[in-house]
A and B are shown apart, each in its own frame.
Chain A
Amino acid sequence: MSTIEQRGWAVVDGIANAFRSGFSVSAGERRTLLVSALIFIAAGLVPLIFGGYALQLAISIVMYAGFATSWLLFSGPTNYIALSTAAFFGIGMYITAGGIDLLPYPVLILASGVAGAAMAAVMGLATLRVSGVYFVIFSLGLAELVRQFMTWGQHVLGTMSGLYVTIDRSEPMYFWQLLLLAAVIYLVGWRIGRSRLGFALRIIGNDELVAVHCGINTARAKVVLFIISSAFASIEGAIVAPRWGYVEPGVAFNPFLSFQVVIMALLGGTQRLWGPLLGVIPFVLLWELIAINFPSQTTLLLGVCFLLIVYVIPNGITGLVEDAWSRRATIGKSGSGPVQRVIDASVGPLRQLLRRKNGNA
C-alpha cells in the first residue's frame, strides 16, 4: 500500500517523536520502575506466607514468567515465533548436571548462559539473515536436534543417559532465585526497550524495509537480541536443574515447554514488556487444573488454547485492555487524512507508545 516516500515520512515522524520524548529517565518511567520494584519485592514475600502446594505453584509462575519475558525480548519486537526455549533450557540443565561435581554452582550458571548464547549465535547467524519462516522452522526442531546429539554423545561415551544433580536448596530459595532472574530479565528488557537496539528492533518489527533504509543492520540487531533472550532460557535451566534432581534427555528437551511459553506470552500480549506476566499467571493456574482433571488430554487442550488465542484474542490480554483504553481516548479525534492513516499504519504502535510517554512527562 504505502509507497517508499510515505514510508520514509513515517520513519522521520517516528524518529522525531523519539527525540522529543528524549532518552533520559522521565517522571513516568521512574514511576513505572518504582511500581515494578514494589511488585517484585511484594512477590519476594510469597515464600514467607505460603508453603507447600501454593509455593510450588508460585515457583512455576515465576519460572514461566522468566521464560515468557525472555521469549518476548526477541519475539515481541521482531514477530518471529521462537520455539527453541526447550533447547536452551535443556542445555542449561545439562551443563549444570554434568559439571556439578567439578565446578562451583555460580560458575555453572554463568557457563550455561555462555553456552546458550553460543548456540543462539550459531543458529541466529544461519537463519536470521533470511526470511523469518526459516527461523521458526529451525527453532521448532532445535530441541529435538540437540536431544538426538546428546543421546548419541552419551551412547558413544558410554555414560548413563540420566544424570543426578544433588545440591541442597530449599523451595523458597528456588523461588527467590527464579524471581531474581525474572527481575533481571525484566530490567534488561526495559533497558533494551530504551536503547538504540530496542529502537532499531521496533522499526524492524513495524517494517523491515524501512529499517534497512534507515541504515540499520537488521540481521545483527536480531542476532544480538536472540542471543540475549536465549542465554536467559539457559540460565533458567541451570537454576531449575537441582530442583528436578535428575536430568535425562527426554525430560530436559521436552518441546512442550517451548509451546507453553509461546502460549503464555501470546495470551498476555506481545506489545508490552509486562504483557507475559498477565498471561503466565492465569495460564499456569489453568494448566494446573487441566493437568489434574484431564491428564491424558493435555495435547488436545493445548491445541484448543492455541486456536482460541489466534481467533479470539489475537492481541492478548494487554491488547484487549489497550483497545478499550484507546477507544475511550480517541473519541472525537478521528477523521484524519489518508497520509496520516498510512503513517499510523506503518509506525502506529511506536507512535502510540511515545505519545503516551510524552503525555505523562
Chain B
Amino acid sequence: MDIVIIGLLLGGTYALMAMGLQLQYGVARIMNLANGEILIAGAFSTFWFYAGTKASPLLALFLVVPVAFLLNWAIYRVLLYPLVRRAKSQGKLEVDSILATFGLSFISVGVMLAIFGGEYLDYSYLSQPIFIFGERYGLNRIVAFLASAALCVSLYVWLHRTRAGLVLRAVSVNPSASGLVAINVVRTSALAFALGGAVTAAGGGLLSMFLTFDVSLGVVFTLKALIIVILGGVGDIRGTIVAAFILGLAETAVATLIDPGLTLAAAYILFMIVLLVRPEGLFGRRAA
C-alpha cells in the first residue's frame, strides 16, 4: 500500500517536470537535453532561498518560475532559434538541437558546480510525519504533490480553455498550418519553450522538498522526463500525466522491492516495452 501512495506522490511531481519537457518538445519541437539542468537549477535556487530566508520553499517558486521563464525565453531566442531557421528538415533540427542543448547542459553543470559546489544538498522542511491508512509519510511529500497537482491542473485548464492555450496546441499539431491561420509560430514556440522551462524549474523546486540533489543529477531527470513524454505520447498532456504516475509507481516498486540503485533500470524497462509495443505512446497519434 505504501508503495502505491509513495509512487503516486512521486508521480505527481514527475508529472510537472515532464509537462515542461512536453511543452518544449511537443510545441517548440526542441529536444531539450538541458531540461534536467533547469530542474536542478530550480531545486538549488529553492534550497538557497530556504537556507537564506527560512520562509516556505513554496514562496521560492514565485521567484524561481519567472526567472526560469525569462532565462529559457532568452535561450530559445538567442541559441535555438538560429538553429530552427538554419535547419532544412526536422531531422537536421533534431540533431542540431540535441548537440546544442548538450553543450548547454554541460555548461550549466559547469557553472552550477562553480556556484554551488559538488556536494549533495538537502534540507528538511515539513518533515514531520503524517498518517494515511495507518502508514506514515513525510508531510513535505504531500505538500509537494498538492502544489504540483495544482500547477498541473491550472496548466491543463489554461491549455484547453483559453485562446492562448488553443494557439499553443495548434502549433503542437502542425506548425506550418498554424502559420497559415495567422498564428505567430516563432513567438508561440518561444513562449512554449519558456513556459516549459518555468514549469520544469517549478518541478525541481518541489522535488527538492523531499529529494537529495547534486549538480550531476540533471541528466537522470532529463532521461526520466523524456521517458515519461514518450510513454505518454508526444504532444499529449493527459498521456504525460498518466505516464508520470506509471513511472513514479514503477520506480517506487523497484526501489522498495528489489534495490534502490535500480530506479533508472525500471524506467528503461518501461521505455523498452513502450518502444516494442506502442512506439507512439499511450495517447499518441500514430504517425502517417
A299 at the interface (CB under 8 A from B): yes
Q: How many residues of chain A are within 8 Å of chain B by beta carbon?
A: 43
From residue B150, how far is it (CB to closest CB) to chain A in Å?
A: 30
B98 at the interface (CB under 8 A from A): yes
Interface residues of A in 40-89 (CB under 8 A from B): 79, 81
In the complex, the number of residue pairs spanning A and B with C-beta atoms less than 8 Å apart equals 114
- Contact for A310 among B31, B103, B259, CB less than 8 A: B103
Q: Which residues of B contact A336 (CB under 8 A)?
A: none
Q: Are A148 and B99 touching (Cβ within 8 A)?
A: no
Q: Are B113 and A299 touching (Cβ within 8 A)?
A: yes
Q: Which residues of A contact B227 (CB under 8 A)?
A: 137
Given A79-B95, A303-B104, A140 and B219 touching (CB < 8 A)?
yes
B88 — nearest CB in chain A belongs to which residue? A345
Given A81-B98, A133-B94, A307 and B219 touching (CB < 8 A)?
no
B271 at the interface (CB under 8 A from A): yes
Given A132-B91, A140-B223, A310-B83, A145 and B268 touching (CB < 8 A)?
yes
From residue B94, how far is it (CB to closest CB) to chain A in Å?
A: 6
Cα A266 to Cα B100 in complex, Å, equals 13
Given A79-B95, A152-B262, A300-B110, A137 and B226 touching (CB < 8 A)?
yes
Q: Are A303 and B96 touching (Cβ within 8 A)?
A: no
From residue B98, how far is it (CB to closest CB) to chain A in Å?
A: 6
Interface residues of B in 23-63 (CB under 8 A from A): 31, 33
From residue A144, how far is it (CB to closest CB) to chain B in Å?
A: 6
Tell me the A residues contacting B by CB distance below 8 Å: 79, 81, 126-127, 129-134, 136-138, 140-141, 144-145, 148-149, 151-152, 155, 255, 259, 262, 266, 296-307, 309-311, 314, 345
Given A303-B105, A310-B100, A132 and B262 touching (CB < 8 A)?
no
Q: Are B110 and A297 touching (Cβ within 8 A)?
A: yes
From residue B274, how far is it (CB to closest CB) to chain A in Å?
A: 9
- Contact for B110 among A144, A149, A299, CB less than 8 A: A299
Q: 10 nearest interchain CB pairs? A: A300-B110, A303-B106, A306-B103, A303-B107, A307-B103, A130-B279, A299-B110, A303-B103, A141-B223, A310-B100
How would residues 74 to 104 of chain B score, 1 for a CB under 8 Å from any chain A CB and 0 otherwise?
A: 0000010011000010011011101110111
B155 at the interface (CB under 8 A from A): no
Cα A88 to Cα B226 in complex, Å, equals 22
B118 — nearest CB in chain A belongs to which residue? A296
B209 at the interface (CB under 8 A from A): no
B266 — nearest CB in chain A belongs to which residue? A148
Cα A145 to Cα B88 in complex, Å, equals 34
How would residues 3 to 39 of chain B score, 1 for a CB under 8 Å from any chain A CB and 0 otherwise?
A: 0000000000000000000000000000101000000
Q: Which residues of B contact A305 (CB under 8 A)?
A: 103
From residue B197, how far is it (CB to closest CB) to chain A in Å?
A: 17
Q: Are B262 and A310 touching (Cβ within 8 A)?
A: no
A sample of 22 inter-chain contacts (CB < 8 A) reads: A81-B95, A127-B275, A132-B91, A132-B94, A144-B264, A148-B265, A149-B265, A152-B265, A259-B102, A262-B99, A266-B99, A299-B110, A299-B113, A300-B110, A302-B106, A303-B104, A303-B109, A304-B103, A304-B107, A307-B79, A307-B100, A311-B82
B134 at the interface (CB under 8 A from A): no
